[in-house]
Structure 1
Amino acid sequence: MGPDATPELDTFRARVRAFVARHSPGPKPHAGVRAPAPALLPALRAWTAKLYDAGLLGIDWPPEYGGRPDAHPLEASIVAEEIARARTWAPIGAASLASAAVIGHGTPDQRTRFLPRIRSCADIWCQLFSEPEAGSDLAALRTRAVRDGEVFVVTGQKVWTTNGQHADMGYLLARTDPDAPRHRGVTAFALDMRSPGVDVRPLREITGTTDFNEVFLDGVRVPAANVIGEVNGGWRVAMSSLGHERSGVAARGAELLAVLDDLVALAAETGALDDSATRQTLGELAARVQVNAALTGVARSRLLHGTEQPADALLGKIFFSELNHDLADFGLRLQGTDGLLVEGDPGAVADGWWQDAHLYARAYTIAGGANEVLRTQIAERGLGLPREAR
């Protein structure tokens, strides 16, 4: 029995499933965290607002901003699972990260300004952390913010900004003290993406879509009132937010069950299911899907009992991202030469869904920290092994 197998949570899950079936904007055409076509934005904003109005998002927010203090701590993850299981759109952007930063470290004025607009989806947020030479090594970021009276003047470049082309607000990290140790001279800001000097340039990826962006910041003036937390205290704000991102990536394990079903159906359709090696590979993948569910269950149980471990979210993120890749890779191989066909090609299996999923899957192994870097963090923080010599 899992930690969410209670009558109350079963009832809640059924309510969420019915709500998603009734109100969702329809299925996503592609796997992964993808930027929608501009024409879909009004529907996604309305969908996000409905989720908040129904008490299905922002569950753990302060009650004065719409949270429910009596809510079960697993309700938020159940909502994420049911959205993933329906293979529909989750709320786009970095609002969950930004709201966690504002609630955990922001001022009362910032909460009043930003949280209601997140709830109504009047503002879509993006995450402005990664830079061309500061991705997994986030502490190496070089974007500068220099104080000028009641504003900070920000200059630099960000990259891999998901949904940056749609964002109204940005959750920005910039270096405010270049002489301080790397982790102590960084500050977090709320940035109006319409500010003069902000230049968003979409990147065309190997999938053929533009989900990520470069963002150039040229003398952008950010009010000091938009500093989240303390000046030079942005590292602590960022780390609490990244915990939300890594957990969110791992929580998409609900999608894996549906993908596994599709994979078995594809093997049967192509006749590969008659091959013992194919059945053995499917069995191995099915076992790993169950292990992924078990890892999620362990993390949930520890959350309920207040015994979370530093490596829980990291392990879940690594295991999910690599399993997700292997499922898509096998789906591609089952198609033989038809695996060369992509979306829009006549005769492409599932209109090229497997090909797109395979190409996108590598992004999950990098998002929220490259898996290689996270393995080092698990060793050092989770297992207490000696730190790597630097």
Structure 2
Amino acid sequence: MKILITGGAGFIGSAVIRHIIQETQHEVINVDKLTYAGNLENLTSVVDSSRYIFEKVDICDRVNLDRVFSEYKPDAVMHLAAESHVDRSIDGPAAFIQTNIVGTYTLLEAARNYWSKLDTKEKEDFRFHHISTDEVYGDLEDTGELFTESTPYSPSSPYSASKASSDHLVRAWHRTYGLPILITNCSNNYGPYHFPEKLIPLMILNALEGKPLPVYGKGHQIRDWLYVEDHARALLTVLTQGKVSETYNIGGHNEKQNISVVRTICSLLEELTPQKPNGVERFEDLITYVKDRPGHDLRYAIDATKLEKELNWTPLETFESGLRKTVKWYLDNLEWCKNVQDGSYQRERLGKGETT
């Protein structure tokens, strides 16, 4: 297949592209605006492949989207481009409305225009796979229940509300226009190339520098953690085997309190890091509790039974094995971290046909 992937320079998108190029014979067109979270260094291992093409395009730019569809004639779309950081959505929700809602609408219309002109067999085979989040379901609190594909939406933050909106748009474009869609909702991802403002990489890098490890409230919030490479496998499985119009939840079977995650990171660093920053006896001593953020959900947990039973997918990594791999990756790739932290990764941002 020829797959158009939006947001392919981001954390999850780049993992999907690396998986596709390295493990399959499919072709990829990476469409990415290269906002702060888009990093072409995430794709160094595949950039020279003849099956990989990069286009620096904003998903809100209909003219250029139409050009990309017309020029490359994809067999499928995997839509990962999104603003995704809850704290940023609280501070500035406008970008989330623009990218996650208006951008998804614009992409849907470009895809529909392209799809409507395909011949019958190509129309039947085409897929629009929208990648979403478990946060659209809201807060499970301490009920002991799990999110299923039929859990009602109840988003709590501007980020999750914008993703819920995009999910509804995608379903409406199937119901109204017949566009063949798939939707997946995943739990918290972690792994290599994760942008350092997110919990796990932030804790690793702060600890290495002897900085405080900020934990919201008492750190009792519970998340279900999914190793990003397991997620990449799941997404391609859904794209190639999933049933049109269906939703599939993707989870890692790893419910952990945030404070437990941070303490496990500290323990791994004690084992794997030969030297501590000056003045630090134990990494755990750096844990600092800070005021909780507004509307903070207590618990998310995914029931991935449908995906496992119908499409025969299960995660390969436990939280323990995945977190160890993640910590070791950051320790081995401090140059990548430095380039992100000092902004130098943003210098290489030219797409096809651009000169400035």
Shorter-chain-normalised TM-score: which range? 0.3 to 0.5
**Larger relative contact order (CA 8 Å, sep ≥ 6):** 2
TM-score for both structures, normalised by structure 2: 0.34
TM-score for both structures, normalised by structure 1: 0.32
Larger Rg: 1
